[in-house]
Amino acid sequence: RLVRQELSDAFAARGRAVTITGVPAPTTLRD
């Protein structure tokens, strides 16, 4: 996959984490 897509997924995952926990989640936590 393209790096840009990976970054987009990471930001999207962090956005969901912020919505759920109220704090930014590290992108490494997604893996």
DSSP designation for 23: S
The pLDDT score that the predictor gives to residue 29 is 52
Q: Name 8's Cβ contacts closer than 8 Å, sequence gap at least 6.
A: none
| Model confidence pTM above 0.85 | no
Share of the chain above pLDDT 70, in %: 35
pLDDT at 11 over 70: yes
Number of domains in the chain: 1
Q: Print the domain residue range for 9.
A: 1-31
The pLDDT score that the predictor gives to residue 31 is 47
What's the CA angle centered on 12, arms 19 and 3, to 5 degrees? 160
Place of tokens 């893996």: 31
What CA–CA distance (Å, rounded) separates 8 from 18?
Answer: 15
Count of beta carbons in the 10 Å neighbourhood of residue 30: 14
Share of the chain above pLDDT 90, in %: 0
The pLDDT score that the predictor gives to residue 17 is 59
